[in-house]
Amino acid sequence: MGAKRRPRQYAAASMGGGSRTIVVGGGFAGLAAAVRLVAAGREVLVVEAAKHGGGRSRSFHDKVTGREIDNGQHLMMGCYWETLSFMRAIGVPDDALEVQSNLAMTMLKPGGARVELTCPPLPAPLHLAGGLIGMRGIGMLHRAAALRAGLLLRGEIARPDDNETCDAWLRRLGQTPPIRAAFWEPLIWAVLNDDPLVASAAMLIAVLERAFMGSRAASSLVVPRLPLSSVYVQRAVDYIEARGGEVRFASPARKLELDADGRVAGLTLKSGETVATEQIVTAVPPQVLLELLPEAAREHLVFRDVARLEASPIVNLWVTLDEPLLDRPFVGLIASPLHWLWDRDRIEAGTSGRPTAGDSLLSVTISGARGFVDDQPEALRELFLGEIARFFPRARPQIRGFRVVKEKRATISHAVGTYRRRPETQSPIPGLLLAGDWVRTGLPATIESAVQSGHDAAARVLSGR
């Protein structure tokens, strides 16, 4: 993203290695930071406001479905190197994740016709070129347009522009409406959680570089087979505690304490306890960070930029049907407000196939859901039924249960010009390091960005900088 701006420091940072490091937040970013720190022999305390870990990538028992479900279906890629490294470190078994051997996805047109992308086992980026040329369900003219964009990608990577929208970028590269609808726009909604009309092309290009320009395996999709909290939260907690760290749930942080020189001196919890420390890693959303800061600190330009970050919501529908709707783990819908449908029973069954008996649990993702996040469940139910009738005209599913999960602040918005507002890991306050998917990692706000931010913060602590 070009030259990085150096934030003005209140005083020269001193990260002395003797004191306990406090990590605020028990989601991917916070747990990743804590795991790296205890692995290096550091004393760590993790405090999490909720009764359970996971942050915005959490699971819970739902009375409507009678199942353990995620707050939304989460998707990863083979290029999530930091995330996969974190999961290996804490002992996540290989069969907890369904990993494609080659990138493949199915998009449905209204009426049910399919567009199929299947990348052949060729070295990157030839695998993508082969997949685009061989796409089924879309004309050669449109496939050639996508291939042209792929050929120009190296030049685009060299000069990303955070002030150019994805829409403008696609127009400049001559992408036709059909290939936009079938390939580019589903990708943009999935990785940027924002409308192509406003989302930054630079953030899209960052994903394309990692996913398609390195290795074939980098672009493969990775789907957790189990609810995500059960995949990583308890394993991370066990790892931390086995190495002398401490994890406290239901322990909200209230205030960052500074000494007379403006350095970190401790953290006050909602309980009234103040824990002394010289090092704090915050791994919380932007608005929560700002609430922790002393009022004077919020006036620093870095934190004023943080206050200007906007949120982009996601609405997830969990629908129990009387019979399966899909014949594969997931599909995308072209030109629909419902972006992705996931057959949870088929996903959890893995390669053994979908159980045939009983009801079917479907997860539905509406990304960048500003137009739907305030809708009542009844309206969203009608939307679901209408779209199912459009895309599956022969299906007559009966709804046994309907659950709406809204994440109003699921991610930051990646609107053009946003990246420069995202802060560096090292904050202007000596002893305070920032983590979270929204900090400046070079990536959009994804699970990978969260884990990378945690690892970056841990590296800063360990380096003494």
- Residue 140: predicted pLDDT: 95
pLDDT tens-digit readout, 266-315: 999 999 999 999 999 999 999 999 999 999 999 999 999 999 999 999 99
Backbone dihedral angles phi then psi of residue 448, each to the nearest 5 degrees: -60, -40
- Residue 160: predicted pLDDT: 85
- Residue whose C-alpha is closest to residue 227's, from 71, 348, 70: 70
- Residue 272: predicted pLDDT: 96
Q: Quick one: 21-58+227-310+417-463 is in which CATH superfamily?
A: FAD/NAD(P)-binding domain (3.50.50.60)
Is the predicted pLDDT of residue 352 greater than 80, yes or no? no
The average pLDDT across 113-127 equals 95
Exposure on the CB side of residue 407, measured as CA atoms within 13 A: 24
Q: At 359, is the pLDDT very low, low, confident or very high (cuts 50, 70, 90)?
A: confident
Residues in contact with 389: Cβ distance below 8 Å, sequence separation at least 6, in sequence order: none
pLDDT tens-digit readout, 39-86: 999 999 999 999 999 998 889 999 988 899 998 889 999 999 999 999
Distance, in Å, from the CA atom of 279 to the CA atom of 263, rounded to the nearest integer, reads: 9
Q: Quick one: 311-412 is in which CATH superfamily?
A: Protoporphyrinogen oxidase, mitochondrial; domain 2 (3.90.660.20)
pLDDT tens-digit readout, 202-212: 999 999 999 99
- Residue 112: predicted pLDDT: 96
Backbone dihedral angles phi then psi of residue 201, each to the nearest 5 degrees: -65, -30
Q: Which helix (H) or strand (E) holds 239?
A: helix 228-242
Distance, in Å, from the CA atom of 279 to the CA atom of 266, rounded to the nearest integer, reads: 8
Token pair for 159: 């000069």
- Residue 351: predicted pLDDT: 53
- Residue whose C-alpha is closest to residue 163's, from 202, 197, 209, 189: 202
Is the predicted pLDDT of residue 196 greater than 90, yes or no? yes
Is the predicted pLDDT of residue 350 greater than 80, yes or no? no
pLDDT tens-digit readout, 135-152: 999 999 999 999 999 888
Q: Which helix (H) or strand (E) holds 59?
A: strand 59-62
Token pair for 322: 């009387």
Distance, in Å, from the CA atom of 199 to the CA atom of 196, rounded to the nearest integer, reads: 5
- Residue 127: predicted pLDDT: 93
The average pLDDT across 2-10 equals 34
The average pLDDT across 84-110 equals 96
Q: Which helix (H) or strand (E) holds 158?
A: helix 140-158
- Residue 57: predicted pLDDT: 87
Is the predicted pLDDT of residue 239 greater than 70, yes or no? yes
Domain ranges, ordered by start, for the chain: 21-58+227-310+417-463, 101-219, 311-412
Domains 21-58+227-310+417-463 and 311-412 share a fold: no
CA distances 141 to 48, 125, 144, 148, Å, are 52, 20, 5, 11
Phi-psi region of 350 (alpha: psi -120 to 50; beta: other; left: phi over 0): left
pLDDT tens-digit readout, 437-454: 999 999 999 999 999 999
Mean pLDDT across the chain: 92
Q: Are strands 221-224 and 246-248 parallel, antiparallel or unpaired?
A: unpaired
